[in-house]
Structure 1
Amino acid sequence: MIKSIISLALLLASVFLAFKHGWDTLNYKKHPESLKMMNELGISEAMIPLFGGLTLLIGVLLLIPKTFFLGNMLNAISIVVIMALAMRVGNFKMVLMEIPFLIIPLVLIWLKYPFIKTV
């Protein structure tokens, strides 16, 4: 029971973050600091909508039981890509800040989808 509650809380937080970051990424022109950070990481302005769309897709995949694992894998991979880009430009503070966000999808994979009964 407690495992399901923790899984549900992490799932809701992960979906919220995916939708928030995806929406903010798609509206990058309203947030010049986001555009500056992405350009610093080497992400061109043409690629920004792709990352925003992928992040929104991850949020949707997390909600569907059959695509829960795939959504978490894509989430973890996207975080590792951000960490790698940050390491490439020498922004180790960002790399360290992303570690807790990398742990969330890995823990969710281990806990499994919260609404499926396991025997």
Structure 2
Amino acid sequence: MIKSIISLLLLLVSAGLSFKHGWDTLNYKKHPESLKMMNELGISEGMIPIFGVLTILIGILLLIPKTFFLGNLLNAISIVIIMALAVKAGNFKMVLMEIPFLILPLIMIWLKYPFLKNSI
């Protein structure tokens, strides 16, 4: 039961972060610091909406039991891509800041979807 509660809390945090980051990414013109960071990572302005939609899609996938694993896998892959771009740009502080966010989907995969006996 405790494992399911922890899994549920992590699911809500992860999905919430996905929706928030996706929405903020889609509204990058209102956040010049986000645009600057994306440009430093080498992400062109045309690719930014794609990342926003992908991030929101990941949040949706996390909430559906049958796509929970896929959502976490895509979340981990997107974080590794951000980390790789940060290394390429020489921004090692960003790489270190992303480590907890990389661990989150891996822990969630291990805990499985909350309150299901036969999770994927």
The corresponding residue for 1:27 is: 27
Name the CA distance, whole Å, in 2 between partners of 1:113 and 1:67: 10
- Determine the structure 2 residue equivalent to 1:75: 75
Corresponding letter in the other structure for 1:21? H
- Equivalent position amino acid for 1:113 in 2: Y
> Unpaired runs of 5+ in structure 1?
none
Distance (whole Å) between structure 2 residues aligned to residue 115 and residue 57 of structure 1: 22
TM-score if structure 1 supplies the norm length?
A: 0.98
Distance 1:80 1:9 in 2: 23
SS in 2 for 1:16: helix
TM-score under structure 2 normalisation? 0.97
1:34-66, Cα deviation, whole Å (9 max, x unpaired): 000000000000000000000000000000000
Runs of 5+ in structure 2 lacking a partner? none
Shift of 1:94: 0.1
1:115 Cα offset (Å): 2.2
1:117, CA displacement in angstroms? 2.2
In 1, Cα distance between the equivalents of 2:65 and 2:51?
Answer: 23
The number of residues matched between the two structures is 118
